Amino acid sequence: MSNKQSVLPYLAGVCFSVLFGLSFIFSKEGLEVLDPFHLLTFRFAAAVFLLNVLRYFKLIRVELKNKRMKTLLSLSLFQPVIYFICEMIGLNKTTASEAGMMIALIPVASVILAVLVLKERPTRIQLFFVICSVFGVFFIMAMAGSVDVGDNFQGMVILLGAVFAASTYNILARKSSLHFSSIEITYVMMTVGLIVFSSISIFQHLIYGNITMFFQPLFQPQAIISILYLGFLSSVIGFFMMNYMLSKVEATKASVFSNLITVVSISAGVIILNDPFYWYHIIGGILIIVGVWGTNYFSRPQPSLLKKTVTS
């Protein structure tokens, strides 16, 4: 393998980590002018539009004629439907920094589910780091409740739902990947997300009697920037970058890049959005990142669930 070929997968890893890490910022910005389901509708509409453009020009190949669509639809229920519902509602009640730290638990939760569902046995040192990371989350949640930060505690509990959904997706993705390519899985996920979230959003607008204002946010630059970033860069390009790296690098090594997503989201939230940042965020964040790193670094050399780890 040439030097260029050996470096490109890691550059792709840095790229998708930054794209996913910044997605919390653009989600927070979008939520200032759109309600959660309205933003999700436009986000997935943008992603589906781009994927269909790529498909039309034969830059990607999607063939869904055979295949066990029931498995893929079940997978799509957890990701993106349940995942993004919990992420958007949770993000609306927390800071981007806190959301980034909570989402960092996905690789750790995947290991726990692998033990419970697939009966895979982690090493003792892995268990230590799993406990370390989980303790970091509960430490932040306990301290957030003690300093009266409003909806933050409730928001972090809801974000745990996103962690569970993404981890369950990791389990189901192992089965789906035997029958579908990664781009086919992405295509169906984005399409299901668009159908579900647009249905919910349209229903909400009908209930409140403002359906004629459905497309009004598209005239606001803040909404357009958030939608394009989340739909094009985070949902489509970020996913492509992640799968390119996974095709070239062992899953255990690739999963370590999830730590970078957390660091980017926390740093960007504090620097760009001026998120409040308390001393317990530092301690809890260190415990989470160390736990995620250790869980992946000391994994056994076996096919890993983390190969299919998913973010915003």
Structure confidence by residue, pLDDT tens digits, 252-301: 455 556 667 777 877 788 888 787 777 887 888 788 778 777 766 776 55
Residue 308 has a pLDDT of 44
Helix axes 124-146, 96-103, angle to 10 degrees: 160
End-to-end CA distance of the chain: 32
Instruction: Give the per-residue SS3 of 108-132.
Output: HHHHHHHHHHCCCCCCHHHHHHHHH
Check: CB of residue 184 under 8 Å from CB of residue 243. Answer: no
Tens-place pLDDT, residues 205-216? 999 999 999 999
Look up the domain containing 125 and give its range.
3-308
Rounded Cα distance, 241 and 181, in Å: 15
Alpha carbon distance 125, 182 (integer Å): 32
How much of the chain is in helix, strand and coil states, percent to nearest 5? 80, 0, 20
SS3 157: helix
Structure tokens that stand for 296 in this block: 């992946």
Q: What is the pLDDT of residue 272?
A: 83
pLDDT for the residue numbered 293: 76
- Asked if residue 151 has pLDDT above 70, the reply is no
Rg (the chain; Cα; Å): 19
The domain total for the chain is 1
Across the range 201-226, mean pLDDT stands at 93
Whose tokens are 């809801």? That residue is: 158
Task: Let me know: does 163 contact 106? Beta carbons within 8 Å.
Answer: yes
Mean pLDDT over the full length of the chain: 79
**Mean pLDDT throughout 19-31?**
88
pLDDT band at residue 103 under the 50/70/90 scheme: confident
pTM exceeding the 0.75 threshold for the entire prediction? yes
Q: What is the pLDDT of residue 147?
A: 47
Secondary structure of residue 150 in the 3-state scheme: coil
